[in-house]
Each structure stands twice: as C-alpha cells, then as structure tokens.
Amino acid sequence: MPKLTHYVKMAANEYLEETGRTELNARWIAEFFQDCGVQDAYPRQDLVVFAEMVQKELTKNEEQAAKKTRLLLDKTLRGIKSARKL
C-alpha cells in the first residue's frame, strides 16, 4: 500500500498538471480522494486534513519554483552585466 505522502504528492502533481493552479479546488480533491484509492487505503483519513496536506504541497512546490526562477534570473542578469563590461 502506498504511503499517504505518496498520495499527497501524486494529487498535488496531478492537480497542477490538470489545472495549472496552486489553489486547490474542493470538488477536485474530493473526487481524487475517492477515485484514486486514498479513501480505501486510509479509511480513517479525514478528507479535509488530506486536502490541507495537498494544499501545503502545492504551496511548497510553488515557492520552490519561484525560488529557482529568481536564481535563474539573477544568474542571467549577472551574465548580461558581465558581457556588457567586455
């Protein structure tokens, strides 16, 4: 049986791929919870708590992507400034 964290990451990735959004839709997560086997694998798992975990994962992924983007932009700008000096 997959770990709960596996389901959380799978839901976050699938939601982002399908919608391109980082704000979780309640109907979408309820369908995922039921259709992807989370409810069967973890019958005591609360849907609201699961949705909160998925939202946290989505937020974490968004923050990491923003950080990578800022680093790449900074690196690019430093490269442009260096090229101008030559």
Residue 42, both tokens? 């973890």
Buried residues in 32-55 as b, exposed as e (16+ CB within 10 A): bbeeeebeeebeeeeeeebbebbb
**Which pLDDT score is estimated for 14?**
97
On the question of pLDDT at 81 being above 90, the answer is no
Which residues span the domain enclosing 41? 4-85
Q: How many domains does the chain have?
A: 1
Evaluate whether 47 touches 30 at the Cβ level (below 8 Å): yes
**Which pLDDT score is estimated for 68?**
96
Closest CA to 30 of 38, 42, 20, 19: 38
**Which pLDDT score is estimated for 83?**
73
How many residues does the structure list for the chain? 86
Closest CA to 30 of 15, 16, 47: 47
List, for residues 7-50, the tens digit of each pLDDT value.
999 999 999 999 999 999 999 999 999 999 999 999 999 999 99
List, for residues 45-67, the tens digit of each pLDDT value.
999 999 999 999 999 999 999 99
